[in-house]
A and B are shown apart, each in its own frame.
Chain A
Amino acid sequence: MDNIAALLPALIMLPLAVSVCCVLIKNSRVCAAISIISAAALLILSAGTLLAINTYEAGVLRYAFAGWSQPLGIELQVSGFTALMTALTCLLVFVLSIYSSVYFSSSDKAIRFWPLWWLLIAGLNALFLSSDIFNIYVAFELIGLAAVALIAIENSRAALIAALRYLLVSLLGSLCYLLAVALLYREYGTLDLVQLASMTSDSASSTAALMLITIGLCLKTALFPLHFWLPAAHGGASAPVSAVLSALVVKGSFYLIARFWLDILAPAASDAGLIILGVFGAAAILWGSAQALFASRLKVMVAYSTVAQIGYLFLLFPLMVGNTQTNAFEGAAMGAITYLIVAHATAKSAMFLAAGNIMRIAGHDNIKQLKGLVRHCPLSIFTFGIAGASLIGLPPSAGFIAKWLLLSNSINTGQWWWVIVILSGGLLAAAYVFKFLNLAFTKDDDTFTKADIVRKISPIMPLCALALALLTVVLGFNAQWLLDISGTLVYETTGQGFTVQNLAGVAQ
């Protein structure tokens, strides 16, 4: 088991090394080749970690840098949930790297793209693996700076303005978090997550720190009403960048909000606070879905759909009210959220890639002028449809399982009012997905009759998008498998399995 733990730094070091290589090489083809190979290596490594955690009884792997253990040293730590997040990151990065190698093949943006891409991945893995609140701050800044620069490579004035606004928001969020780190260090004298969790009380400075962390990270997660920067930033970036921002970057900050509220600063968290977070989540579902319905550009529509899906994640908090477990990453609600994160990450990245393909083919993404598009890119529209079905929550997709688990949790905990929100969110999602599909399947009246308007794209691009969309279906068909993994992972210390049957049993 120590062998696997010794490989943990590689999940951060390898992306950093590839990033430096890509800066030095300056040849986009070589960079793309190195990137795909490294992404495959990362995928194997993270899958190995996940399997090791799954079979390992303690459920947590630790790595102390240079052999310095606590309290002096800085540790990497991976538990079941973070191993799953890292594996998800590496899986998406692998597919998106293949897609990007084609997407950027005919432009000089590739040379700027690859180094930043790998910095972003290093930041994401560092965020999930760090066991030190200050290192998490550094990871946030690494992610923030790389993400802003990745949006800026589009080089249009609109994209640059979106990037600048995202940068200011990201810096503000990080500074709020850093102030909370300073307050926590002042009070408890440690930066280690595990040590902190065992020491925290509901003192005034802990409460202040929790508030600062919540505001700062909600800005980064784009929880309604702090989502104002997201549609322009995610809608204006290039397709693979939008995909990774929506699928992974917002989840990183969400993971930490959950970790602080339910685990590390749990003594300072109040039930009222948990419910307020849920109310903002509910507002995000309704507002984001409605805005998506009225959006005139396809990518902006997909970006607003992210705002709505983030809202679902925040329903975790009210469902944890009165949770008597000692470890907050236990409990049925966390299983549902884990499933939702995986479902949304795969579906949304597939959708952004499909939207990117459509934009390449049609030359724009103005929804009204995409009539009859299905004749020119059937695969991308098909992908969009499958991903849309998962976002709506239609069976047999991962989104269905996730929503179903959320619904049964709301009923089990007696909080039936969330059911209304979840179901209306699904209806609104159906409205905006079918609004676009309806147009795409309408017989065109002259919009695309001239063949020269339509550009050809490499078949690899729609296939990458399709692969991600099929993944959401596989996860939906094979619910038991992921629930087993997340069950043993999320509930590692209780030793109880977590199955569809026993959840359904409780629901009846």
Chain B
Amino acid sequence: MMLSQLTPEIMYSASGIALFGIGLLGLIIVPHIFRKILAINVMGVGIFMLLVSSAKRANIDADPVPHAMVLTGIVVAVAGTALALFLVKKINDLAPSEKSQ
């Protein structure tokens, strides 16, 4: 009964939310800064998955709006990641003896 209700849409949505949760957990508990940045990207991918899976609602053709949102979201995620990595590099450059935490 449960399995028959498990349509691909629900599966994708659930895994999207699970990815968001995993990323959030990583961001909070992992001390290493690179992993924090990766965790934020995992969270982002989770949301993108949820958005893409919501493109097929009812029995209409695929809704293009979520795809446009995901594309924009990817661009924003790349910009944020790049800025974060640059800041980490800059912080390490200013104090070469210390490791960034």
Binding site for B on A (CB under 8 A): 134, 138, 141, 144-145, 148-149, 152, 156-157, 160-161, 163-164, 167-168, 171-172, 174-175, 178-179, 181-183, 185-186, 189, 191
- Chain B, Cβ-Cβ closest to A170: B80
CB of B90 closer than 8 Å to a CB of A: yes
The residue in A149, A157, A160, A172 that gathers the most chain B C-beta atoms within 10 A of its C-beta is A160
Subset of 7 A-B contacts with CB under 8 Å:
A141-B80, A160-B90, A168-B37, A171-B80, A175-B47, A182-B47, A182-B51
Q: State A412–B63 Cα separation when bound (angstroms).
A: 49
* Contact among B44, B73, B76, B91 with A157 in the assembled complex (CB-CB below 8 Å): B91
Q: How far is the CB of A191 from the nearest CB of chain B, in Å?
A: 7
Give the residues in chain B near A174, CB-CB below 8 Å: 76
Instruction: Decide if A161 touches B91 in the complex (CB within 8 Å).
Output: yes
The verdict on B65 contacting chain A, using a C-beta distance below 8 Å, is yes
Q: A178-B47, A182-B51, A185-B51 are in contact. Are A163 and B87 (CB under 8 A)?
A: yes
B94 and A179: CB pair below 8 A?
Answer: no
> With A164-B87, A167-B80, A167-B83 as given contacts, are A134 and B57 in contact (CB-CB < 8 Å)?
no
Asked whether, in the complex, the Cβ of B40 is within 8 Å of the Cβ of A168, the reply is yes
- Min CB distance, A312 to chain B, in Å? 29
Across the interface, do A160 and B47 meet the contact criterion of CB distance under 8 Å? no
Indicate if the CB atoms of A157 and B95 lie closer than 8 Å: yes
> Closest approach, in angstroms, between the C-beta of A68 and any C-beta of chain B?
13
Chain A residues with CB under 8 A of B95: 157
B72 contacts the other chain (Cβ, under 8 Å)?
A: yes
Total contacting residues, chain B, CB less than 8 A: 33
CA distance A149 to B84 in the complex (A): 10
User: Of the candidates B37, B54, B57, B76, which one forms a contact with A141 in the assembled complex, judged by CB atoms under 8 Å apart?
Assistant: B76
Bound Cα distance A293, B65 (Å) = 50
Q: Which residues of B contact A163 (CB under 8 A)?
A: 87
Q: Secondary structure at chain B's binding surface: helix, strand, loop or mixed?
A: helix
A175 and B43 form a contact (CB under 8 A): yes
> Within residues 9 to 27 of chain B, which ones have a CB less than 8 A from any CB in chain A?
13, 20, 24, 27
> Which chain A residues lie closer than 8 Å to B51 at the CB level?
182, 185
The answer to whether B83 and A138 touch across the interface, beta carbons within 8 angstroms, is no
Q: Is the CB of B47 within 8 A of A185?
A: no
CB-CB under 8 A for A168 and B69, given A145-B80, A157-B94, A175-B40:
no
Extra inter-chain contacts (12) besides given A145-B83, A178-B47, CB under 8 Å: A134-B72, A141-B79, A157-B94, A164-B87, A167-B84, A168-B27, A168-B36, A168-B37, A179-B20, A179-B47, A186-B54, A191-B65
A175 to chain B, nearest CB (A): 5
Distance, CA A191 to CA B44, complexed state (A): 19
Q: Cα distance A191–B65 when bound, in Å?
A: 10
Complex interface: chain B residues within 8 A of A148 (CB): 83, 87
- Assembled-state Cα–Cα distance A172/B20 (Å): 11
Choose among A156, A157, A164 the residue with the greatest number of B CB atoms under 10 Å from its CB: A164
Q: Are A160 and B50 neighbours in the complex by a CB distance under 8 Å?
A: no
Please give the distance in Å from A116's CB to the nearest CB on chain B.
11
A168 pairs with B94, CB closer than 8 A: no
Candidates B36, B43, B72, B91; contact of A138 at CB < 8 Å: B72
A160→B87 contact, CB < 8 A: yes
